[in-house]
A and B are shown apart, each in its own frame.
Chain A
């Protein structure tokens, strides 16, 4: 009983592997070039990449003063947030 259900399961695995082994693939060099191309083409439209200024980013427009705190200290960031967002 359990013997035949193991066989059914294995058959499915083998079928799946056959399917996956036969798909068409492209060279990494070509695939990589296309990934890079996409990045470059869309770079200017990427606000987090280009660092959109405060006037156009709704999340950056804020209360008057700017702060030159170093973001590398967790404690300072907390205080900065408290100051900036009242």
Chain B
């Protein structure tokens, strides 16, 4: 009898809530459509087309014994940290290609790694469901693993990690469907972000001028923008047709790009609250694993599962170059902090620096 009374409240029945949710979704689409007065590439018709690009592999970093899964640049614009399926995390000097540090993780598939803003530590994790921070010692003989600090604990694999503006906080995303913000010193969770309906595969922090938000992408085909202070999802976008493998903010912070298993990359504008460009070609049928912008935001570099890197004109929507060289899937790609080069990592065990 009590159960019946609870179910009888009209505003709360499952059916009425479902109807309301459908109505709201329609309303959301209508509001977005009202402002869709033009396409980005139409606005960009008047600007000059880009010329021919000559980008080549300038360095090849060899040393991983298995697939390279992730990499990140140090703010000094020359050091790089990379992680691999074989459990190794390596810090390189990209100018000389020398290895400066190497750590063996207790797990395989180290899917995430990040350089601390100070350049004095790296964070990494993967199938161990954790994110650990290793301070980088100047003493090459020192055993880095001894100083390891476990920071984040998820209930499934760690897919991405990123320091916030200091060495003190780390943002993580996980196969458990959540993202979280952690205090490095205490290991305490400061905020958690719930809303994805499946594994979260990637995240990116908004440029500092834009304020405290970040974007995440997942196997639920959704990209979500989060308020770091409240834990609330403030905007979400669901136009991809498959897993979103990579998300990256446009340098101004007003938009972000995504790369997906549906073989497209897309641009979403945050103020217009909608997708404003799709970067695709009929000939591109393999998923995009990683994306990043050049410094001005005019170029979008996409690493794909067909071993290539496609370079897109962000405004006009056209492809300006295709780069060959890797001998297996490109799994990770980042432009250097000063924009002079970008680095790609691949299942072919190598990393390449292009400029």
Contact = CB atoms under 8 A, between A and B. Distances in A.
A25 B29 CA distance: 12
Contacts of A10: 14, 17-18, 21
Nearest to A60: B355
Interface-centre pick from B236, B255, B325 (highest chain A CB count, 10 A)? B325
Given A7-B17, A10-B17, A36 B315 contact: yes
Contacts, number: 200
Given A31-B269, A74-B327, A3 B298 contact: no
A42 B18 CA distance: 47
Interface string B95-120: 10100000000000000000000000
Interface string A1-37: 0011011001101101111110101111111111110
A75 B142 CA distance: 40
Interface residues of A, number: 55
Interface size class of B (residues with CB under 8 A): 35 or more
A81 B28 CA distance: 51
Interface in B17-70: 17-18, 20-21, 24-25, 27-28, 31-32, 35-40, 43-44, 47, 50, 53-60
B145 interface: no
Given A29-B37, A73-B324, A77-B56, A18 B24 contact: yes
B335 interface: yes
Interface of A: 3-4, 6-7, 10-11, 13-14, 16-21, 23, 25-36, 38-43, 45-49, 51-52, 57-60, 62, 71-74, 77-78, 80-81, 84-85
9 contacts: A27-B272, A29-B43, A31-B254, A35-B255, A35-B315, A42-B296, A47-B355, A71-B325, A81-B352
